[in-house]
Amino acid sequence: MWHEEKNRLQRNFQFKDFAEAFAFMTEVALHAEKQNHHPNWSNVWNTVEIQLTTHDAGNIVTDKDRKLASVIDGIYEKYR
């Protein structure tokens, strides 16, 4: 689940392997680009860590972040 900490929405996602994690990131990237709202993230093998914050609102959590988080959750469901 997403949790808010230090003005960021954060969540870790686990996959069966690196290829699946990378496929997830690719799909998230396409949606993020359409929304012009890009996550801070990292990937180590089968784990993707995502942090969302709205930079142009002073680096706080806004509805933009919650909307993208919802889209990301929908994408993740395909991998479960």
Q: Which domain holds residue 32?
A: 3-77
Calculate helix-pair angle for 18-35, 63-77, nearest 10 degrees.
Answer: 140
Which single residue is written with the structure tokens 């093998």? Answer: 45
**Tokens in use for 32?**
């993020």
Please tell me the total count of domains within the chain.
1
CATH number, domain of 62, equals 3.30.1360.20
Say what the pLDDT of residue 47 is: 98
> pLDDT per residue over 2-37, tens digit each?
999 999 999 999 999 999 999 999 999 999 999 999
- Reported pTM: 0.94
Contact present, 9 and 53 (Cβ < 8 Å): yes
pLDDT band for position 80 (cuts 50, 70, 90) = confident
Share of the chain above pLDDT 90, in %: 92
